């Protein structure tokens, strides 16, 4: 069964999102600074899933997440309703309106597009109770939820799912948190060598010292190790990768696998500030406490590492900015304006790895669906 594509989603008043409208493709990757709304956007699909079941399921979802006041944008005194509008198959539209109840619960009205039921227009009403009896619409929405996969490679700490030993037979698809990365890559190497080689090449492009993965099998489990071009007879654990490299590996595996999911979201938290070093003049001109001395320090950092993308990933580019500007730099307030002032064209010119990655995504987006 072919999955239904969500062509467009509009969200108003949900968590940190005041209002946003997004046109979607086959694969959608969310990039942004801390607090920019990535997680709030993704959590709207959890809300959508809960609302697609029944009223009780939705109330339980809201209660588990802190109640209406915690989920409405700046609280229920500021935002009196949440509106989520979803367009599917470029023809069907479904609209949820959530209003706060007196006990911090919610009241829901959802409005199916009447075009979906041309022969029954006179009986379709915008009430949850009515929706629960519209089997055709509910089947479409449930089918969509089945095919929607949200990948979140946020956790790269010591207990990260990406670093886990995984069951060797967990290979049907890459799990949303990447906890079967070892088994999934092992399967690709054994059965799809061309795809595996493409993944290795992509990783080497971002991390030239990387050589290959080592699959350490014990019974029905497999652990992922790796080696590099400089040290013989030593296998490194995944914890030896920088945070950015580990996330890049997960993303490369997702995009270059032999049978990628038809529709998914991926949320990444890359070393965003490295891209900002594409124009140190713009960084210095944007921040209020900038001086010729801070510009000189930026030049020193860039000269030390040669290229923006080479800037110390172990320490973190953001740490350099905080040290230079005496903790005045804040990603959520300064990062996005600086990037917008620099412009994507300049960033792509100065950051060839990032540019190559975007080209692969653009090529993938143009491929037949």
Give the count of alpha carbons within 13 A of 253, CB side only.
28
As beta bridge partners, residue 83 has: 12, 97
Residue 311 confidence (pLDDT) above 90: no
pLDDT digits (tens, 9 = 90+) for 7-37: 788 999 999 999 999 888 777 778 777 677 8
Single pTM value for the model: 0.58
Q: Could you read off the pLDDT of 100-137 as tens digits, one per residue?
A: 888 887 776 655 444 443 333 333 333 333 334 444 54
Per the CB < 8 A criterion, the answer to whether 61 and 297 are in contact is: no
State the pLDDT at residue 183: 95
pLDDT band at 141 (very low <50, low <70, confident <90, very high): low
The whole-number pLDDT of residue 121 equals 33
- If you write DSSP's letter for every residue of 192-255 in order, what string do you get? -HHHHHHHHHHHHHH-TTEEEEEEEEETTEEEEEEEESS-SS--EEGGGS-HHHHHHHHHHHHH
The model's pLDDT over 223-277, given as tens digits with 9 standing for 90+, comes to 999 999 888 789 999 999 888 889 889 989 998 898 776 555 555 544 678 889 9
């Amino acid at each position: 069964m072919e999955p239904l594509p969500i062509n467009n989603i509009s969200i108003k008043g949900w968590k940190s999102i005041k209002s946003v409208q997004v046109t979607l493709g086959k694969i959608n990757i969310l990039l942004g600074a801390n607090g920019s709304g990535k997680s709030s956007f993704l959590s709207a699909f959890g809300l959508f899933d809960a609302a697609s079941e029944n009223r009780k399921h939705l109330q339980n979802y809201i209660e588990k997440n802190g109640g209406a006041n915690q989920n409405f944008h700046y609280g229920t005194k500021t935002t009196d309703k949440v509106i989520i509008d979803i367009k599917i198959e470029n023809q069907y539209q479904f609209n949820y309106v959530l209003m706060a109840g007196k006990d911090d619960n919610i009241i829901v009205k959802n409005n199916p597009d009447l075009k979906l039921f041309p022969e029954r227009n006179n009986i379709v009403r915008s009430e949850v109770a009515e929706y629960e009896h519209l089997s055709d619409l509910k089947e479409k929405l449930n089918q969509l939820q089945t095919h929607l996969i949200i990948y979140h490679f946020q956790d790269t700490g010591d207990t990260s799912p990406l670093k886990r030993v995984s069951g060797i037979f967990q290979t049907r698809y890459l799990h949303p948190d990447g906890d079967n990365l070892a088994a999934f890559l092992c399967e690709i190497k054994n059965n799809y060598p061309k795809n595996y080689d493409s993944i290795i090449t992509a990783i080497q492009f971002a991390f030239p010292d990387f050589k290959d993965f080592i699959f350490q099998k014990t019974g029905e489990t497999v652990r992922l190790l790796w080696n590099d071009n400089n040290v013989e007879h030593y296998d490194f654990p995944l914890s030896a990768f920088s945070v950015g490299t580990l996330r890049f590996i997960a993303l490369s595996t997702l995009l270059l696998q032999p049978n990628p999911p038809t529709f998914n979201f991926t949320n990444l938290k890359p070393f965003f500030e490295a891209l900002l070093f594409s124009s140190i003049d713009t960084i210095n001109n944007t921040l209020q406490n900038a001086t010729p001395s801070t510009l000189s320090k930026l030049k020193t950092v860039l000269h030390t590492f040669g290229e923006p993308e080479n800037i110390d990933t172990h320490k973190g580019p953001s740490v350099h900015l905080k040290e230079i500007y005496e903790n005045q730099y804040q990603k959520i307030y300064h990062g996005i304006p600086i990037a917008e002032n620099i412009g994507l064209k300049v960033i792509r010119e100065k950051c060839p790895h990032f540019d190559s990655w975007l080209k692969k995504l653009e090529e993938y987006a143009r491929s037949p669906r």
